[in-house]
């Protein structure tokens, strides 16, 4: 699976949009971008995934650049409960292999 | 629908003792994974079951760790004998076969070896 690069930490004001970037310049054509997060003392939680088109669900939006070498996870109205470590993971479509977690981005939502 | 459950939530044992962690996956999920995070490190994969078979155990650190999944339902991870460096949080996840195989994680078991 392709390697990803994320900033170590970010802050966001409560109620504002949180934009978390991820670089995956070596992504292959059959690899999807997945986002998970880990809230303190909980297990990782799936957020969203995408291939090349922008995706949106009830939790977040995912914007993938046209060349697919980077993406941005958007939490449109961040709350204090969104404070967590966010992981960007690239993996092959239909793969049941393990997830490879990097160091992720610690997002702190400030009141 | 019940999520992935893990037992116990916390365990404190002395070096040299044995500990067994349990994971109950989401019903119907054939894939079951074990991961762990040791202090200050990233979450690392340990092994992957498909039903009762070990699909990939490349992440198991050494032969003090033994995982089983009898009957393809719940799984246990035994550490015997435990060492100080085994301290950390052990996560279990499960998924069902499909296009994306999203993995659903349990809350983890915090293991402290003293």
The pair of structure tokens assigned to A73 is: 């996870």
| Band of pLDDT at residue B113, cut at 50, 70 and 90 | very high
Q: Do B31 and A46 touch (CB under 8 A)?
A: no
Q: Which of B31, B100, B102, B106 to mutate to test the interface with A (most CBs of A within 10 A)?
A: B100
Distance CA A39, CA A31 (A): 26
Spatial separation of the C-alpha atoms in residues A23 and B73, rounded to whole Å: 38
pLDDT at site B81? 97
Q: What is d(CA A79, CA A15) in angstroms, rounded to the nearest whole number? A: 6
* B3-57 pLDDT, tens digit each: 999 999 999 999 999 999 999 999 999 999 999 999 889 999 999 999 999 999 9
DSSP string of B1-46, one letter each residue: ----EEE-SEEEE-TT--EEEEEEPPTT--EEEEEEE-TTS--EEE
């Amino acid at each position: 699976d392709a390697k990803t690069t994320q900033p170590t930490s970010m802050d966001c004001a409560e109620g504002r949009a949180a934009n978390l970037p991820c670089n995956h310049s070596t992504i292959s054509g059959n690899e999807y971008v997945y986002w998970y997060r880990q809230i303190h003392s909980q297990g990782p939680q799936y957020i969203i995934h995408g291939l090349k088109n922008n995706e949106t669900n009830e939790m977040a939006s995912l914007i993938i650049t046209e060349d697919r070498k980077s993406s941005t996870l958007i939490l449109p109205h961040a709350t204090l409960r969104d404070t967590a470590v966010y992981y960007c993971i690239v993996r092959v479509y239909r793969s049941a292999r393990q997830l490879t977690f990097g160091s992720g981005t610690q997002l702190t939502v400030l009141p | 629908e019940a999520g992935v459950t893990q037992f116990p939530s916390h365990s404190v044992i002395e070096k040299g003792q044995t500990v067994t962690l349990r994971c109950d996956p989401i019903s119907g999920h054939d894939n079951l994974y074990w991961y762990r995070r040791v202090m200050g490190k990233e979450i690392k994969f340990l092994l992957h079951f498909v039903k009762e078979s070990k699909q990939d155990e490349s992440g198991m650190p050494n032969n003090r760790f033994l995982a089983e999944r009898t009957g393809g339902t719940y799984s246990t991870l035994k550490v015997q004998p435990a060492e100080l460096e085994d301290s950390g949080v052990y996560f279990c996840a499960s998924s069902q076969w499909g296009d994306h195989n999203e993995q659903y994680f349990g809350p983890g078991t915090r293991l402290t070896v003293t």
